[in-house]
Chain A
Amino acid sequence: MVNVIGYGIICAIGNNAEEVLSSLKAGKTGIGPMHYLQSSHRELPVGEVKLSDEEMKRMLGLDEKKVVSRTVLMGAIAIRQALEQTLGSMVNGQWSMEGKRVVLINGTTVGGMDITERYFKQMQTDDALLPLVEKHDCGSATREMADLAGLRDAEVCTVSTACSSAVNAIILGAEMLRRGEADIVIAGGTEALSRFHLNGFNSLMILDKEPCRPFDKTRAGLNLGEGAAFVVLKASPDPSKGGGKQSPGVSPVYISGYANRCDAFHQTASSENGEGAYLAMTDALLMAGLKPRDIQYINAHGTGTPNNDASESAAIRRVFGEDIPPVSSTKGFTGHTTSASGAIETVICILALLHNFIPANLGWQEQDEDCITPVPLQFSLKGKIKDSLPLREGRGGSILCNSFGFGGNDSALVISKKTAPLQPSPEEGGFKVQTLGECIIDNVEQLGELRDFVSPGEARRMGRLMKAATITSLKALRAAGVECPDAIITATAYGMLETSEKFLTDMLENGEETLSPTLFMQSTHNTLSSAIAIRLGCHGYNMTYTQGGDSLEWALRDARRLIETGRARTVLVGCHDEATPMFQAFLRRMGKPEPPMLYSRSIVLSATNS
């Protein structure tokens, strides 16, 4: 079983768990006018962490002039808080966990983008700024964060499934603990506001100029937020086997169920019946051995966009029928903290469970027949804010936390005060893994083959790497004789570098208007995995690893875990990366080897029949 033994959080409504708890109970939002982000879109309200980069560096004991991504700073602060709860204090700036296998798993999408966008133009001519190139990708941001947080010796891993990244980080951590691959896991996510992703979401026309109103009839989009949250996880012995006694000071909270599924519908929209969300919730409950009526509160993904909230409501109605537990989205407090949101909301759920209250759904006033009815802020007759409602009575003391992402990367967690042994047990299965098919593309000229698989109409929006990944995936599947795999796992160090670079260049040269949504929607690392899922109609497990040169190894480990435990018979693993002339020039100036312009390798793994 997986025990939460510490948690840390920093977001728009507080710089630590205590402040967050007090804002939640007081119904106090953290969304407001832009203060730290330097964007021309002053009309857009945001949920900023109320600290400057310099203040955060001081908190971490860093030189204020050192260039460090805000994503890294917030993450390091949250990790330190989480470890302080369990370990007390650091020795020489590092946590002492000798003899323990410690793994840090981070969910992020922007990585060091805030730094890249600030220095991008100068980097093209000024050699002194070149080291920043190596701080851009998500994996190196995680590595730097581990060092600053006092986890220099920890193994690090980064997952990137857009807005569900942090929940998938927690799911991976729980899996590793259950399989005995680690002794301590620190898992969560961090994401700073950047002009890149503010403008990206703006190009999709899903940002509201007013404070967001999740599930309200008049809702008109989301407000972006930022922050970080991490939980410290440890495997606890099964009580039926004589274990389960709490060590003193350990919070009695468990990750008691989880599921990662794919909506496989559209790159930036959720399906009408919320299939991915429905599967994620249903399977998380199944794993926890719980019935829908056992859930005391649902922390919804609830972004405030017309599409998400209607789709999520449809899915909740499908799972819970007439007996829907109290639901709220806490994004009216924090804004949508994208990749970090799953961890921020996990910590909010832990606080709700430990302090027995339902966080309010700020901004909700008018019922929408397409949406569930959330728990609004409670007012007295005199119009004063009243205390939050207590959690609904429930058997196990359990909360469901939803976290969905672009591309239909939908995940759900069950967080409980008590837990039964999770289903299936990690030892079950005992299957062996074999390779059924493989395909590699390392040359742009090979992309002509796309015509054999995809119509020109479908291909017109695909970037180069997407084309390569599509060909190798489909050819590997054909060689394996597999039509639709049970799971899709992608490894990519930089993701769709070409489209990201185009969007960034356009934004910096032509300003923050009239930017292309097509470029932005391809810039998230999980685009490849989810596009293939959409093409194949694959609703199973869908994951993207972005840990530099280690990404493929992480992806293969994950595939083996799924197959050996019998949760997947066939898994499509892809390793896809590309370079651009500008990126190659950066590395040339640094005296580093130039990466290939294009590399895509797909492998189909399966359980052996013996």
Chain B
Amino acid sequence: MEQLINDLKLQIKEALNLEELSMEDFDENAPLFGEGGIGLDSIDVLEIIVLLEKKYGIRLSNPKEGKAIFQSIKTIAEYVQANRKK
């Protein structure tokens, strides 16, 4: 799980071009969206959906499904572990 969390952090940093975010600051429990968190938005949701399909073979067809999954890196990791096809 720890490995997966680290992989996801790196992949999300790259896909969303979050260069200024250091790995230490990228807390897996921090909220990804809204104030006080990483500060991502709806376009980032779409990019994360693309990433999950590319890297893990997971297809989400409705961005709304993503809401519960994309709360934090931790929740994404749990979802990926349970649903990954590759």
User: Which A residues lie at the B interface, using CB under 8 A?
Assistant: 203-205, 267-269, 456-457, 460-461, 513-518, 521
Contacts and interface: CB of A to CB of B under 8 A. Distances in A.
A514 B53 CA distance: 7
B50 A514 contact: yes
Q: Which 9 A-B residue pairs are closest in the complex by CB-CB distance?
A: A456-B20, A460-B17, A517-B46, A514-B50, A514-B54, A514-B53, A205-B63, A517-B43, A518-B43
Contacts of B63: 205
Given A205-B62, A514-B53, A457 B20 contact: yes
A518 B41 CA distance: 12
30 contacts: A203-B46, A204-B46, A205-B46, A205-B49, A205-B61, A205-B62, A205-B63, A267-B43, A268-B42, A268-B43, A269-B42, A457-B20, A457-B39, A460-B16, A460-B17, A460-B18, A460-B19, A460-B20, A461-B17, A513-B53, A514-B50, A514-B53, A514-B54, A515-B50, A516-B50, A517-B43, A517-B46, A517-B50, A518-B43, A521-B43
A461 B53 contact: no
Contacts of A461: 17, 43
Contacts of A516: 47, 50
Contacts of A457: 18, 20, 39
A507 to B, nearest CB: 13
A517 B53 CA distance: 14
Contacts of A267: 43
A269 B41 CA distance: 11
Contacts of B18: 457, 460
A577 B83 CA distance: 44
Contacts of B61: 205
B80 to A, nearest CB: 16
Contacts of B20: 456-457, 460
A421 B62 CA distance: 49
Nearest to A462: B17
A518 B42 contact: no
A267 B62 CA distance: 20
Select the residue from A268, A460, A513 with max chain B CB neighbours within 10 A.
A460
Contacts of B46: 203-205, 517
Interface in B58-73: 61-63
Contacts of A268: 42-43
Nearest to A268: B43
A516 B49 CA distance: 10
Contacts of B19: 456, 460
Given A269-B42, A460-B18, 6 more contacts: A203-B50, A514-B53, A514-B54, A515-B50, A516-B50, A517-B47
A456 B20 CA distance: 7
A461 B17 CA distance: 7
A513 B61 CA distance: 12
Nearest to A307: B42
Interface string B5-28: 000000000001111100000000
Contacts of A204: 46
Contacts of B49: 205
B11 to A, nearest CB: 13
B54 to A, nearest CB: 5
A457 B53 CA distance: 25
Contacts of B47: 516-518
Contacts of A205: 46, 49, 61-63
Contacts of A517: 43, 46-47, 50
Contacts of A269: 42
A518 B49 CA distance: 12
Contacts of B53: 513-514
A518 B61 CA distance: 18
A204 B50 CA distance: 10
A382 B73 CA distance: 56
A468 B2 CA distance: 40
Nearest to A458: B39
A106 to B, nearest CB: 29
A521 B46 CA distance: 12
A267 B44 CA distance: 13
A376 B18 CA distance: 47
A515 B18 CA distance: 19
Nearest to B46: A517
Nearest to B55: A514
Nearest to B15: A516
Contacts of A456: 19-20
Nearest to A461: B17
A267 B42 CA distance: 11
A203 B42 CA distance: 12
Contacts of A521: 43
